[in-house]
Amino acid sequence: MLVSVEDLSLRLIHLRLRGTTLRMSAIEAIGRVCDEALARGVSAAIIDLSAMTGASASGTASLVELYGRYGDRLRLTFCGLGDKTRRHLQKAGLGGILPCHDDAASALADPPFRALQLCNHRAVILCGAGQPGPVPGGPPAPLLDIAGQPLLTHQLKHLARFGLGDVLIDAADPDKELPAHLHENPVPGQAQFFCSAVSAPRESGAVETLAGMATRHAAFGGDVVVVAGPILGGPDLGAMAAWHRQRGADVTVAAACLGGPRHGVRLVSDGAGRVTGIDPAANTARAETGIYIIRADILNRLGDIAGGGLATGLLPRLIASGGHVSAYTGAFRWRTIFSAEEYHGAMRAALEGNLPGILPASQRVRPGLWVAHGADISRRARLNGPCHVGAGAVIEAGADLHGPCVIGAGAVIGRNSRVSHSMVEAGTRLAEGSRLYRVLAGPTRHLDLTGTGRDRAPLPQEASPQDRGSWRTARRSA
């Protein structure tokens, strides 16, 4: 029997067993690997038997012995167990003892293992904190409310799911909103560092921002995950990192099929996923999505590149010099938020469950309806999801909400108002009988979301405090 070991990260290994029949002697070979892994700080192992052709009863017993010997010090899971091995376990009454997965991919999707995949990597979020947000007069993009949490918090949680515990964020001084928010709302197991490199919009200065981080903070070593812009959702970063390693790429770009308007530039690639050209005007099948894995030595040499964005400045320069740029095309869903219409679309996708891992930060009181703490909803209001009602918001009697719609924290929806396919910003007070359809309504604006992007006159701001009831989960009538 042969045992091969792949380091998936500093704390996670993948053991592959190859041979004919699994026997009791296997425990010694696997045990030596486990001892060596523990000595260098590994905390979890996936033991893959998919390449074994069979297992004896003693070989199956060796797996149980192995789990008993190491299970309290090393998180173990077994995958690729054949039918014969499973029958041995069931016959011995041990079917529920060993943690098992169908294959290594399903093991890596399990949160305890997923959270170790990139624990030795660093991440950067180029959020452009000093730049105007996509909503005229609204907050910067990182602080956009996405179903009860800022966009930046959703991005940080996505990174944390794969074990990315150190995150650099570009936030020009004296901006204090982001550090204050994260101090009050920390992401478990993650530390954020705010860099004073000059922030810039995604496609006009990402290279300068990263070069500033490299020179001022000596920030980069190993492979670095870069999120370049206001992006909600994204790929399986563990699978993307594995793709990056296997191909020995300098830069790996998360790429997705074109479908509708996209901000990413078009990628020209060969059949093996190597990017051979960047053509913003090409009608090719894939476009970059603003998510990258970049080797540290590339980032540390960015000062030699005359600025620009990653897709329009760095990648063409690398390709022209013979560098290896790879396109990761695994299935994933994401949204960019560069306009009010895209903001509404991203919110809708989050509420409808179309962005895996992006969930409202409120109580789900019934399918499609989330209500934050302190919201006050009349018994005579009607809410048809998907809807999210923010903390301290008030929905008065006779109000009729048809999702997807979002009511911001502290907003008041007046009596007999109708809100459909719309977003009401925090602190907005809608007068009795207001009508909203595909509108982003704020205290000082009424922005059309039908695609024209034009402003309308602000709505009246006089909501009545009368006849407010408490939230009930039962169906109610007007």
Model pLDDT for residues 107-124, shown as the tens digit of each residue: 998 999 998 999 888 999
pLDDT for 197 equals: 52
* Of 166, 173, 171, nearest in space to 192 by CA: 166
Q: How far is CA 386 from CA 33, 90, 101, 365, 421, in A?
A: 50, 44, 34, 11, 10
pLDDT for 185 equals: 80
**pLDDT tens-digit readout, 34-74:** 999 999 999 999 999 888 887 777 878 888 889 889 989 99
Q: Which sign does the torsion angle of CA 126, 127, 128, 134 carry?
A: positive
Question: Quick one: angle between helices 57-70 and 83-91, nearest 10?
Answer: 70
Q: What is the mean pLDDT of residues 237-257?
A: 91
pLDDT for 252 equals: 95
Q: Are 224 and 240 in contact (CB under 8 A)?
A: no
Q: What are the b/e assignments for 252-282, b being 16+ CB within 10 Å?
A: bbbbbeeeeeebbbbbebeeebebeebeeee
- CA 110-155-452 angle, to 5 degrees, is 125
**pLDDT tens-digit readout, 324-347:** 999 998 888 889 898 888 898 899
Query: Hunting for tokens 């530390």 — which residue is that?
Result: 191
Q: Which tokens sit at 458? A: 């602000």
* Most confidently modeled range among 168-182, 229-243, 271-285: 229-243
* Of 386, 435, 428, 391, nearest in space to 411 by CA: 428
Q: What is the mean pLDDT of residues 353-379?
A: 89
Residue 470 identity (one-letter amino acid) = S
Q: Is the pLDDT of residue 454 over 70?
A: no
Residues 6+ apart with CB under 8 A from 317: 305
Q: Which tokens sit at 53? A: 């052709």
Rg of the chain over Cα atoms, rounded to whole angstroms, equals 26
The 10 Å Cβ neighbour count of residue 374 is: 13
Count H helices and E strands in the chain, helices first. Answer: 12, 34
The 10 Å Cβ neighbour count of residue 184 is: 7
- For 420, half-sphere exposure in the C-beta direction (CA atoms, 13 angstrom radius) is 6
